[in-house]
């Protein structure tokens, strides 16, 4: 007699089936269902909903009016729901005209230098569509992608990314060599600048001392090692399942002195924080932590 599935396995398999069923729907319907589910399920977790509201008050005091806070929180939960269900139709989003690009000239200017490029992105909007935007721009890119803790959600992510599967580098014993070889070949290495790990927000610092042992420190070290330029870019949702990738001017560091790494990380941290705060209602990690009042 087969063993019973655990509660986690039942929920995980139900999620896989649900995503499979969504894959036959039009893109707009699939995304809208995600918004509806997000606004229903998200607020039920009082702890996470409380974190969102708390962090909004600290990071965006200009949104203090109760009705504005409520609308912003609803948008946040809805957008998180959209991201999940859009994995079902991600390949069709890639093949659509739903991804606008602003600032392509900044990336082209860096390419013309012939130097390696490190792409600095954050988890805004639907960050998964950045892959297709970089393809559209003819960029030779690879991205470091951390496996998700939940195996069912990770399976969904891997399935959604299969069009660009060869572009992703999974952390492990071979990752270092793959990263350095790609940079030496004057490719673009895409790394996340916001980082939440083992219950702690490593970046951005939001007024705390910066961490030199996280992704921002790795980006700075790689930039020095490979003489690379850092290209910040981010994707925001412009309405429904429509997106805009914005590419900002490249960051070039001035190396020298005992605090060179800290100075570089502080500069990256400030750039990441500015982008996130401007689009806080679309930031994946807003419900993961609770900022201490500054």
Would you place residue 6 in the very low, low, confident or very high pLDDT band (cuts 50, 70, 90)?
A: confident
pLDDT tens digits along 21-33: 999 999 999 999 9
Q: How many CA atoms lie within 13 A of 50 on its CB side?
A: 4
What is the reported pLDDT for 8?
Answer: 86
Out of 7-16, 120-129, 210-219, 230-239, least confident range: 7-16
**Number of domains, the chain:** 2
220 and 267 in a single domain? The answer is yes
Instruction: Flag whether 116 is in a domain.
Output: yes
Residue at which a domain ends, from 90, 109, 138: 90
What is the reported pLDDT for 7?
Answer: 81
What is the reported pLDDT for 3?
Answer: 53
Mean pLDDT of the 23-51 span: 98
Average pLDDT, the chain: 95
- Note the pTM of the prediction, 2 decimals: 0.94
Q: Is the pLDDT of residue 125 over 90?
A: yes
134 and 274 in a single domain? The answer is yes
Out of 92-101, 167-176, 236-245, 279-288, least confident range: 167-176
Do 193 and 187 meet the contact criterion of CB atoms below 8 Å apart? no
189 and 115 in a single domain? The answer is yes
Mean pLDDT of the 54-59 span: 97
What is the reported pLDDT for 5?
Answer: 65
84 and 101 in a single domain? The answer is no
Mean pLDDT of the 253-257 span: 90
What is the reported pLDDT for 101?
Answer: 98
Out of 3-7, 171-175, 245-249, least confident range: 3-7
Reference 86, options 121, 123, 128, 122; nearest CA is 128
Mean pLDDT of the 210-224 span: 96
Mean pLDDT of the 279-287 span: 97
Mean pLDDT of the 221-237 span: 96
Higher-confidence position of 91 and 64: 91
> CA angle, corner 258, sides to 253 and 259, nearest 5?
55
118 and 79 in a single domain? The answer is no
Residue at which a domain ends, from 60, 90, 120: 90
Instruction: Flag whether 2 is in a domain.
Output: no
Residue at which a domain ends, from 90, 106, 135: 90
Which residues span the domain enclosing 86? 7-90
């Amino acid at each position: 007699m087969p063993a019973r599935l655990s509660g986690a396995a039942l929920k995980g398999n139900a999620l896989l089936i649900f995503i499979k069923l969504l894959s036959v729907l039009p893109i707009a319907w699939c995304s809208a269902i995600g918004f509806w589910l997000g606004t229903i399920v998200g607020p039920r977790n009082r702890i996470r909903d409380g974190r969102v509201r708390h962090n909004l008050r600290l990071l965006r005091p200009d949104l203090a009016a109760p009705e504005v806070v409520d609308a912003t929180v609803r948008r946040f939960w809805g957008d998180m729901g959209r991201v999940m269900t859009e994995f079902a139709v991600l390949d069709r989003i890639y093949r659509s005209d739903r991804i606008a690009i602003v600032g392509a000239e900044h990336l082209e200017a860096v390419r013309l230098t012939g130097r390696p490029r490190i792409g600095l992105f954050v988890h805004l909007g639907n960050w998964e569509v950045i892959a297709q935007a970089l393809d559209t721009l003819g960029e030779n890119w690879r991205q470091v992608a951390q496996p998700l803790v939940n195996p069912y959600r990770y399976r969904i992510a891997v399935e959604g990314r299969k069009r660009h599967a060869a572009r992703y580098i999974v952390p492990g014993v071979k990752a270092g060599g793959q990263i350095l070889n790609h940079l030496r070949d004057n490719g673009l290495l895409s790394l996340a600048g916001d980082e939440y790990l083992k219950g702690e927000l490593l970046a951005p610092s939001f007024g705390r001392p910066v961490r030199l042992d996280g992704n921002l420190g790795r980006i700075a070290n790689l930039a020095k090692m490979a003489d690379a330029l850092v290209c910040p870019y981010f994707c925001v949702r412009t309405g429904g399942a429509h997106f805009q990738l914005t590419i900002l001017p490249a960051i070039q560091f001035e190396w020298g002195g005992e605090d060179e790494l800290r100075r570089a990380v502080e500069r990256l941290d400030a750039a990441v924080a500015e982008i996130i705060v401007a689009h806080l209602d679309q930031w994946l990690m807003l419900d993961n932590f609770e900022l201490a009042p500054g």
